[in-house]
């Protein structure tokens, strides 16, 4: 009788057990239908290109509410569970990133893999606060999602993959996001075929053209990159990134690290598609609007 009573008490709760959906893709999973098809295609292409270049797997997912999946607690815990259920990122590096947005909850989370130390939590918070929440507060989800995905690529994935020494603020624009990195509005104003090719080739080069020169304020910046030390089989190389203003000639130089040949091969072979079994320890950043 006691066992029967326990079962009867448990059954109503079973329907509320937390479950996560099967992924629609390994880039964009827009369950809440917040992205127009053309925007979803741009974001997917950007995330795939970044993954091929850095080895870091970024997934964007939108939902109506965590309650639809049995979630009732902290949204950060719900996002961490989602991350680990899907196994985002490489299982040995644990460097995946999940951007999860709940429209009706008006809450979001960038969940980071277990390899990211706390400084990256702060950088993720900058992405949330500067690229996503302002647009979400205006109910412009397409812009916030696209801008956030691109900023996550540039300020999280690329510097982490290059083993750059960063602070919470380093590399982030002092001006508003739209003045520094191309956003969804600029994307929409450019012919689709040209835009698609630019996304697939050099997102960074394309975005730099819309940045203001810190010296004269003109939008005439050009980006060149060169290798200063070739990577060897097991040792990293070095490169130099140069931004030059075509109006006043001002230059900014930043060094970056190139992965060893062995690491580059591993990224290409194991991290170009699908889910790799990565895990999150709960790190990341949240936002409400």
The answer to whether residue 285 sits within a structural domain is no
**CA 162 – CA 156 distance, rounded (Å):** 10
- Can you give the residue range of the structural domain that contains 72? 25-201
Give the CATH number, domain containing residue 46.
Answer: 3.10.310.50
- Are residue 39 and residue 101 in the same domain, yes or no? yes
pLDDT block averages, 10 residues each, the chain of length 289: 47 58 96 97 96 96 96 95 97 97 98 97 97 97 98 97 93 60 49 47 50 74 74 75 82 72 53 86 97
Q: What is the pLDDT of residue 276?
A: 93
Per-residue pLDDT at 221: 66
Q: Say if residue 151 is in the same domain as residue 88.
A: yes
Assess contact for 91 and 249: CB atoms under 8 A: no
Q: Is residue 7 part of a domain?
A: no
Residue partners of 207: CB distance under 8 A and separation at least 6: 150, 154, 181, 182
In a domain, 76, yes or no: yes
pLDDT at residue 211, as a whole number:
61
Judge whether 260 lies within some domain.
yes
Q: How many domains does the chain have?
A: 2
- B/e letters for 219-253, b = 16+ CB within 10 Å, e = fewer, are ebbebeeeeeeebeeeeebebeeebbbeeeebeee
| pLDDT given for residue 240 in this prediction | 76
Is residue 18 one of the residues assigned to a domain? no
């Amino acid at each position: 009788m006691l066992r029967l009573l326990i079962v009867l008490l448990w059954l109503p709760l079973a329907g509320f057990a937390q479950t996560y959906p099967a992924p629609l893709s390994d880039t964009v999973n827009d369950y809440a239908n917040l992205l127009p098809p053309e925007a979803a295609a741009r974001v997917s292409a950007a995330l795939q290109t970044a993954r091929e270049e850095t080895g870091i797997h970024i997934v964007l997912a939108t939902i109506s509410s965590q309650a639809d999946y049995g979630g009732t607690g902290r949204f950060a815990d719900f996002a961490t569970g989602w991350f680990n259920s899907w196994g985002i990122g490489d299982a040995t590096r644990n460097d995946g990133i999940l951007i999860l947005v709940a429209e009706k909850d008006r809450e979001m989370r960038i969940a980071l893999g277990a390899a990211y130390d706390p400084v990256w939590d702060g950088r993720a918070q900058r992405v949330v606060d500067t690229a996503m929440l302002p647009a979400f507060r205006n109910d412009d989800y397409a812009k916030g999602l696209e801008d956030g995905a691109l900023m996550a690529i540039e300020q999280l994935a690329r510097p982490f993959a290059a083993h750059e020494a960063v602070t919470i603020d380093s590399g982030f624009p002092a001006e508003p996001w739209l003045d520094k990195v191309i956003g969804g509005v600029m994307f929409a104003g450019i012919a689709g075929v040209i835009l698609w090719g630019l996304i697939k080739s050099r997102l960074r080069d394309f975005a730099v053209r819309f940045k203001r020169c810190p010296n004269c304020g003109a939008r005439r910046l050009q980006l060149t990159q060169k290798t200063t030390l070739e990577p060897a089989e097991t040792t990293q190389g070095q490169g130099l990134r140069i931004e030059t203003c075509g109006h006043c000639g001002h230059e900014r130089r930043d060094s970056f690290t190139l992965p060893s040949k062995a690491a580059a091969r591993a990224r290409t072979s194991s991290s170009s598609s699908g889910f790799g079994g990565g895990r999150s320890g709960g790190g990341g950043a949240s936002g409400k609007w």
